[in-house]
A = this chain, B = another copy of it.
Amino acid sequence: MLKIGGYTFASRLFLGTGKYADARTQKEAVQASGTEVLTFAVRRMNLFDESQPDPFESMDLSGFRLLPNTAGAKTAEEAVRIAHIAAAADMCDMIKVEVIGCDKTLLPDPVETIKASETLLGEGYTVLAYTSDDVVLARRLQDLGVHAVMPGAAPIGTGLGIINPYNLSHIVEQADVPVIVDAGIGSPKDAAQAMELGADGILLNTAVSGAGNPVKMAEAMNYALEAGKLGYEAGRIEKKYYAQASSPTEGLSRL
């Protein structure tokens, strides 16, 4: 079971709710993924702007935990304000702090992320911090008290997979709180790899919503997390340079 703050989850997949072709596809993908946590951009909700669609209109939200994110924030101040809005609307079981520092890569700003996390932790929020894969930064966030660190595998929406498995591995090795790999996952093998490296869960969106068949891809991701998690627990073989016969045939009687 995955524990984040006061919550416990059987599924280790967090699913974003953006960019589905239609509400029905979104709903079926959510079901196929087995997720218990829905994540969404507060600024995309029609909380304050009724011209925006309600991404949850056709969803029965009971049975799900909501993880709003502060996407669109470029400063700690903006992120905190967005969190307040989500909480006021009662849509904030947990909050994902996301403060973007670069328009081209959508990579997070380390300084503002620290500030926003500190403030929201002080106010009692359950904070999950989206961060680069900087090893020391991840530990600094943990030291602040965040309830989970969310290092990116690659920039948001690129589908490049885990560019730096080395850093992810060190983040996991040093983590006392759950590590949820967030952003950059492109296909099931990437999700499996993250779990094999010891991640506690994965957040993804585009890899599912942008797939040819989002529902089938959601199911694939569900299996991939299971595969990776079991593989991590089972303990993989070491890599070798020279080949090793599966069934050594030395010393056998000649045929």
Contact = CB atoms under 8 A, between A and B. Distances in A.
Contacts of A226: 220, 223, 227
Interface residues of A, number: 101
A119 B53 CA distance: 49
A105 B242 contact: yes
A238 B102 contact: no
B217 A236 contact: yes
A136 B228 contact: no
Contact of A224 (B137, B231, B253): B231
Nearest to A32: B230
Copies in the complex: 4
Nearest to A240: B158
Contacts of A43: 247, 249, 252, 255
A252 B230 CA distance: 42
A5 interface: no
Interface of A: 16-19, 40-41, 43-44, 48-49, 52, 71-72, 78, 81-82, 85, 101-102, 104-111, 114, 132, 134-137, 139-140, 154-160, 163-164, 166-167, 170, 173-174, 186-193, 196, 205-207, 209-214, 216-217, 219-224, 226-231, 233-249, 252-253, 255
